[in-house]
Amino acid sequence: MGLTYVDRGSAYWWRRAGLTLFWFFLTVLSGVMAVGVTLGVGEAGPTLLIVTSSLYAALSLGVGWTTALAIRSADRFGVGSGSFEESRWGVFMGKLDERLAWFAVILVVALPIVFGAMLPLLVRSFGRYTIGERHQRRQLGLDA
């Protein structure tokens, strides 16, 4: 965890590239599967297509929002630091994540959840630091 891009070394950048490709693969795979299921449902009629698309959009946005907030808290407080998880907001987010996870029992419903969870992770992997790294760098005194 050097101070510059050069100090981090090639092994660090290979891991980061692999992580980004992993999130890209999962995001594309779940997105293609969701589109395929939606197109298949669309053949049954426009009403079912609207309901399925609305459900997918709501679940993807809901899980994407909670995942983005979890990423933000990891950047601010560290991963598993306890301070966020013990706060009222952290308890609420934990309960919300549990309730949203129940939808993953049915594969068709799991597709937008996976897509909604993977997309923020993919976007964040293009950032300067990986998730939680900023907090670790602050603890080590590498960032002000």
Residues 44, 48, 53, 55, CA torsion sign: negative
pLDDT tens across 84-134, in order? 556 676 677 677 766 666 655 555 567 777 788 888 888 888 877 777 787
How high is the pLDDT of residue 25?
Answer: 86
pLDDT tens across 28-65, in order? 887 888 788 788 888 888 888 888 888 888 877 887 88
The gap between the terminal CA atoms of the chain, to the nearest Å, is: 15
Number of neighbouring beta carbons within 10 Å of residue 135: 19
How high is the pLDDT of residue 53?
Answer: 82
Q: Give the three-class secondary structure for 84.
A: coil
pLDDT at 2 over 60: no
